[in-house]
Amino acid sequence: MPDERVKIADLMATSGVKFGTSGARGLVSDMTDRVCYAYTSGFIQHLDRLGEIQAGGRIGVGGDLRPSTARIMAAVAQAVGHAGCVPVGLGRLPSPALAHWGLCHHLPTVMVTGSHIPDDRNGIKYTKRAGEILKDDEAAMREQVVVIPEGLFDQQGMFAEKVAALDDAREGLALYARRYLDFFPAGCLAGKKLGVYQHSAVGREVLVEVLTGLGAEVTALGWSDDFIPVDTEAIRPEDVAAARGWAAERGFDAIVSTDGDSDRPLIADETGKWLRGDVAGILCAGWLGADAVVTPVSCNSAVEKSGLFERVVRTRIGSPYVIEAMQQAHRGGARTVVGYEANGGFLIETPIERWGRELAALPTRDALILLLAVLVAARDKGVPVSGLVAELPRRFTFSDRLKRFPTDRSKAKIAEIDSGDRQKDAAAIEALFGDAFGRVAGIDSTDGVRITFDNDEVIHLRPSGNAPEFRCYTEADTEARARAINEKAIAVMETWR
């Protein structure tokens, strides 16, 4: 048989592995060697057309700790090699560490990770020389037609012959650690007693290394050899209980952690209470001295109410939208531009200057900068982490989701209450939620449907962009109320299955 030519858009339709935020995600069973090889080939062809790669050029490859990651990394490396480029194996490391390596060397990278989702799924995240691929790049990659060499794959889409595993260099991890050890003053966390919830996060060791290197007394907690799907937007009850228990037993100043690929942070205060990512994001942005902050429409409105920032820009949910808006703000003259998401992932568009030192831009989700900024901000003010939160306006968010909810169905249900006819939509919403929330004051269709009621409470419904889940975000003036209205909204959504 001759070589096969496949259009990426067609492969997406037939494989079940589609593009989400900055790359591809799907069931491990669908992410065959053939699919991963083809998608990476499409990425390299796109780079070639942009003039970002040429024969012999290097591409960094890394991954998280999922069982399927090594196989997919090998498939990625084969695609890189067959395209005439050189795969640089950087081993298992955080997504921001791999992106940072690429930015420092002005090279593209490929990260194999499914982030926070269960390990029956995985993904591939693509980064160009200047940062993440954006929506225009995704569209261009879908149009690529790639060549699948004859005999390379068997009938199941797996390599017909065994391929070599990539080298496991630690260059990227070391460079990432130095980014923060060289910026923050030596001993800036001296006297701080910190717990690090390690679970199966790929950054669990470098997190301990950096915190210890800055003077903190660190206790490693909860190491797991099995993958644990820690979602920073929907924290598992067992992780809530564990943090409370560790704090009570050990007297920590804070407990820190990340999701699976260590681009989304978790930080708990001295009582073991996990902070919401969009609250921690405000604290980080404030400590960095940002004048322009970009954040998705789902995030806590305390960012505007705080008065800390000259400009706040709201976007659709997803780092590509945040990055594009950060770039626009920078071009518009903003001096210090940052962004954050509800999951806590923090992005830096412009260099940060402090202590006569410069922290280079890292316009991709990062966990470590947020954790360090919050800890140092608390030290600077001489207050516990809970004291930082208490200084912000009293607005509270809560989020949850229905799992195994088909995306098409969630979109259809949203369309029933977001038709564009605002009088009709308000009546439909009040029929569903009016008894609990009252009259509708406003409807925002930026991403999903965000409903503000007359009492200033908010319900935001949105299909997940990377899993068959239906997410619900709520906001109110007390934490208990934000949780309560979320439970009521989820109860209504359950009837839509």
pLDDT digits (tens, 9 = 90+) for 97-136: 999 999 999 999 999 999 998 999 999 999 999 999 999 9
- 383 and 477: one domain? no
Please give the tally of structural domains in the chain. Answer: 3
Question: First and final CA of the chain: distance in angstroms?
Answer: 46
Residue after which a domain boundary falls, among 346, 366, 390: 390
- 85 and 162: one domain? yes
> What pLDDT is stored for residue 18 in this prediction?
86
Domain-embedded: residue 185: no
Residue after which a domain boundary falls, among 390, 421, 438: 390
Residue among 15, 68, 115, 319 flagged as catalytic: 115
| C-alpha dihedral sign at 157, 161, 162, 166 | negative
- 300 and 420: one domain? no
CATH number reported for the structural domain that contains residue 470 in this entry: 3.30.310.50
Query: Quick check: 73 and 124 in contact, CB under 8 A?
Result: no
- 29 and 118: one domain? yes
Domain-embedded: residue 186: no
Residue type for 13, please?
A: A
CATH number reported for the structural domain that contains residue 26 in this entry: 3.40.120.10
Residue after which a domain boundary falls, among 365, 390, 415: 390
* Alpha-carbon gap, residue 112 to 126, rounded angstroms: 9
- 167 and 222: one domain? no
- 305 and 329: one domain? yes
* Alpha-carbon gap, residue 196 to 336, rounded angstroms: 30
Torsion region of 404: left, alpha or beta (phi above 0 gives left; psi -120 to 50 gives alpha): left
CA distances to 123, 153, 161, 164, 365 from 22, rounded to whole Å, are: 10, 26, 30, 27, 11
> What pLDDT is stored for residue 23 in this prediction?
84
79-105 burial, b at 16+ Cβ within 10 Å, e below that, comes to bbebbebebbbbbbbbbbbbbbbbbeb
- 77 and 152: one domain? yes
- 362 and 475: one domain? no
Domain-embedded: residue 181: no
Instruction: Based on the residue annotation, tell me whether 306 is a catalytic residue of this protein.
Output: no
User: How many CB atoms within 10 Å of residue 382?
Assistant: 7
- 342 and 380: one domain? yes
- 337 and 197: one domain? yes
* Alpha-carbon gap, residue 22 to 325, rounded angstroms: 15
Regions of the chain where pLDDT drops below 70: 1, 20-22, 466
CA distances to 18, 132, 183, 288, 337 from 356, rounded to whole Å, are: 45, 29, 9, 14, 19
Scan for tokens 């992932």, then name that residue. 345
> What pLDDT is stored for residue 1 in this prediction?
59
Q: Output the average pLDDT for the chain.
A: 95
- 327 and 213: one domain? yes
Torsions phi, psi of 75, nearest 5? -65, -40
- 373 and 472: one domain? no
> What pLDDT is stored for residue 467 in this prediction?
75
Whole domain around residue 96: which residue ranges?
A: 4-173
Torsions phi, psi of 406, nearest 5? -55, 135
Domain-embedded: residue 254: yes
* Alpha-carbon gap, residue 180 to 161, rounded angstroms: 42
Torsions phi, psi of 308, nearest 5? -80, -20
